[in-house]
Amino acid sequence: MCTNNCDGLSVVIPIYNCEKYLKECIESIINQKYGNLEIICIDDGSTDSSAEILDYYASIDKRIIVVHKENQGAAAARNNGLDLVTMPLVTFVDADDTIEPEMYDNMIKTMHAEKLDCVCCGFRRFYESGKVVNVKSRFGDKVLRGTEIKEDIIKCLIGFSKEDSSCLCPLWNKIFITDIIKRNRIRINEKRTHGEDWLFCIEYYAAIESIGFTEKIYYNYRYVQNSLVTKPRKEYFEWSVEANTLFIELFPDLDVTVFVKERNNLPINAALYYRHTYKGEERKQLLEKIFRICLETNYYEKQICMDKRHIKLQRCLDEDNPRAFVRCLKKTTNKEYYVILIKRVIKKLIRQ
C-alpha cells in the first residue's frame, strides 16, 4: 500500500518520431505541481528531431534521464524504462499526449490518504477531426478493496460485464507502486502491438488489495487514426487465446460457467473480426489459421458446456476439414457480419 513514505514518482515515456508533440508533452510533465519526479525518456530509435529535443530538455532539467536505443517498439521501450525506475511510485506517458499541472500531486495525495496500491483518473480523447470526448471512470470518486477488485474490475475487463472499461485499460492514467510491479515480475508484453496495456493492468490488479478512482480528468490522450492502436490485427485470435489462458492462471476461482462461455466463443469472435476487417484471400487465410490453431492445440477438446455451434466446429476439426470449419464459422457469424455491413453503408450515406 502507498503510505506517506511513498514519495517520489518515476515517469516512463517511450518516444518514437514524436517531434511534432514532444515539447508540449515534456513541458506538461516538468511543470507538474508535484516536483519529486524522475522522468525516464526512452528514445526508441527516432529518425526525426526527437532525440535532439530530449537531449536539450535533459540539459536544462536534472530530473530527466534520456536513453537512446535501436527501435524495438513501445512495449520494449516501456520495459527498458521500468528497469531504470528508482522511485517508489511509477507511471507512464505517451510522447504525443499531455497531462494537467495538478495530476500527479492530487493523485499521489489520494494514494497517501487512502493507503492505496493504485489510483486511476479520467482522460480526454482528442481526435484529429477536432472532436473531444471526456472519458470518466464509472466508479466516480470511489475506492475498491479486496474482492471488490475482482468482482467490479476483473470481470469487466475479461468481458463478463458490459460496463464501460475505458478507464481501466490504459497505463497512462494510473499511478502504480514500483515494488508491486517488481515483486510480481509484471512486464509489458513485447510481442503485442495492441492490448499490452490491458494485460499489464490485469496482472497488476491481480496483485493488489486496493485501487482508488477520481472523476477528475487529468490526462489528454491524442487519438491518431493511423497509429498501431487503430491498425487491424492479424494476430487477433492468438492474442485472445493467450489473454484467456492468462485469466485462468491469475483467477482460477472465477465463475466457471460464464468463463467457459467466453472461452468457447473466441474462434467465433475472431472469425467475425476477420470477416469485417479483411477481404479476399487474406481473409480466407486468416479464417483457415483459426482452424490450424484449434487443431494444433486441441482447442475444443479442452472446453466444456459447448452448444451446437461449437460441437459442429469440433466435428470439422476431428475430420481435419478446414473448408467445412471455415463454412461453419461464416454461417455462425453471418447475422452479426451483415449487421456490421449495413451499419457501414448507412454511415457512408449519412456522410454524403
Rg (CA), the chain: 22
CB 158 within 8 A of CB 262: yes
* Domain boundaries along the sequence of the chain: 9-230, 236-351
Residue 176 has pLDDT above 60, yes or no: yes
The C-alpha angle 189, 193, 199, rounded to 5 degrees, equals 40
Q: What is the pLDDT of residues 335-345, one digit of tens each?
A: 888 887 887 77
CATH of domain 9-230: 3.90.550.10
Output the pTM of the full model: 0.80
Whether 228 shows a pLDDT value over 90: the answer reads no
- Residue of 37, 62, 41, 63 whose CA lies nearest to 52: 41
Q: How many CB atoms lie within 10 A of CB 30?
A: 15
| Residue 173 and residue 203 in contact, taking contact as beta carbons nearer than 8 Å | no
Residues 6+ apart with CB under 8 A from 115: 1, 2, 3, 210
CA 67 and chain centroid, separation: 24
Side chain identity at residue 160, one-letter code: F
pLDDT for 326 beyond 70:
yes
Q: What is the pLDDT of residue 217?
A: 95
Closest CA to 170 of 123, 216, 217: 123
C-alpha–C-alpha distance, residues 4 and 48, integer Å: 41
Evaluate the CA torsion angle 204, 205, 207, 209 in order and state its sign: positive
CA 236, CA 269: separation in Å to the nearest integer? 9
The C-alpha cell that represents 285 in the structure block: 487465410
**pLDDT tens, 23-43?**
999 999 999 999 999 999 999
Enumerate the β-bridge partners of residue 44. Answer: 69
